[in-house]
Amino acid sequence: MKISQLGEFGLIDVLKKFSPVTKEVIKGIGDDAAVLPFSKTEYLLFTTDMLAQDVHFTLGMSAQAIGHKALACSISDIAAMGGRPTFAVISIGIPKDLPVRFITELYQGIKLTAKTFDVSIVGGDTIKADKLVINIALLGQVEKKYLTLRDGAKPGDWIFVTGPLGGSFKSGRHLNFTPRVAQARFLVENFTPNAMMDLSDGLAGDLGHILKESRAGARLDYAAIPRNKGASLEQALNDGEDFELLCTLSPKTARSLMEWQEKRKAFYFYPIGVITKDVKEKINSKSFTHF
């Protein structure tokens, strides 16, 4: 069988069988970041993301924006766990003819984003490659009481997203997005979400991960899904790389969040549907109905 027939998630399921874990591992493969022991009150978070030339970017794009994105993807995963990013290592594979300037600009992008989010760059690896590849591994920390996984959604929970979706590639937003650390920290500190993840593969598929992990279904109000200018519902459901947060809150906390945000406009969390008991209402976006 070819990799293309298996698909990304089919392959990850296979790889999981070859990925041993000790009893210490609190959450391994299957969430936005791994959750590991750290201290009495906090967990260590660990995530990694890779970008490749001609798959995720081309050399015609802004090197600084590519650097930003390479780090911001991982910061977004740490945010999705309710945590704060801390330390990163960066590995790059560089074609021998690439101008040095491209790499310094790439690193300028990484540096600005690292400073904005208090991330220290503490190492990496450099090799020769046919095309430019960049991989960032990032650690983070989260208070045990604030850890938010994908598997905690409960029937009746309201589903929220942190911003408009769709058309991220066409608009270039996939390179310039802001990881939602502030929104995630605000939520975990004040409203205790039951489940959370970041939207990297598109709402329909990503919500499917929460539903699968939580053994639940969902009904979406398509009209309530916030869309970027020019994006269709189809695009808002299926385009990837929005890097907004997707989270679920109990009806009670959801209502107090709605009350809070009527008065204060610091962030806006858009209610887009509810979690249901019926697992048949899951994964395929076509099976979601209005609530």
In order of 241, 246, 248, 260, 262, the CA distances from 266 in angstroms are 23, 18, 19, 10, 10
Site string for ligand ADP, 190-209 (x = CB under 6 A): ----------x---------
Binding status of residue 206 toward Mg ion by CB under 5 A: no
| Binding region for Mg ion (CB under 5 A) out of 3-11, 143-151, 197-205, 265-273 | 197-205
- Residue 151 within binding range of ligand ADP, rule CB under 6 A: no
If one asks whether residue 239 binds ligand ADP (CB under 6 A), the answer comes out as no
Stretch that binds Mg ion, among 28-36, 246-254, 268-276, 280-288 (CB under 5 A): 28-36
Residue 66 makes CB contacts below 8 A (sequence gap 6+) with: 51, 57, 106, 109, 134, 175
**Which parts of 116-157 are beta strand (E)?**
120-128, 133-143
Shorter beta-carbon distance to Mg ion: residue 150 or 282: 150
In sequence order, which ranges of the chain are alpha helices (DSSP H)? 3-16, 63-80, 100-116, 168-171, 173-176, 181-190, 203-214, 233-238, 251-263
Query: What's the closest the beta carbon of residue 99 comes to ligand ADP, in angstroms?
Result: 30
- Which does residue 19 bind out of ligand ADP, Mg ion, none, counting CB within 5 to 8 angstroms by kind? ligand ADP
CB-based contact 150:197 (threshold 8 Å): yes
State the virtual CA torsion across 227, 79, 211, 233 in degrees, nearest 10.
10
Question: Site size for Mg ion, by CB under 5 A?
Answer: 4
x/- mask, ligand ADP, residues 8-47, rule CB under 6 A, reads ----x--x---x---------xxxx---------------
Answer for which of 42, 49, 151, 242 binds ligand ADP (CB under 6 A) is 49
- Which of ligand ADP, Mg ion, none binds 151 (CB below 5-8 Å, type-dependent)? none
In order of 101, 249, 251, 269, the CA distances from 158 in angstroms are: 48, 5, 6, 11
The reply to whether 32 sits near Mg ion by the rule CB under 5 A is yes
Q: Which two tokens stand for residue 74?
A: 């991982």
Quick check: 6 binds ligand ADP (CB under 6 A)?
no
With CB cut-offs between 5 and 8 Å by kind, which of Mg ion, ligand ADP, none does residue 244 bind? none
| Encoded tokens for 39 | 């201290």
What part of residues 69-98 is at the interface with ligand ADP (CB under 6 A)? 77
Binding to Mg ion (CB under 5 A): which residues in 53-112?
77
Q: State which amino acid sits at residue 109.
A: G
**Residue 255 C-beta: closest distance to Mg ion, Å:** 27
Q: If contact means CB under 5 to 8 A according to the sort of partner, which of Mg ion, ligand ADP, none does residue 30 touch?
A: ligand ADP
- Nearest Cα neighbor of 180 from 254, 108, 242 is 242
Nearer to ligand ADP, 24 or 97 (CB): 24
CA-based end-to-end distance of the chain: 41
Residue type, 206: D
Residues that bind Mg ion (CB under 5 A): 32, 77, 198, 200
Residues that bind ligand ADP (CB under 6 A): 12, 15, 19, 29-32, 49, 77, 200
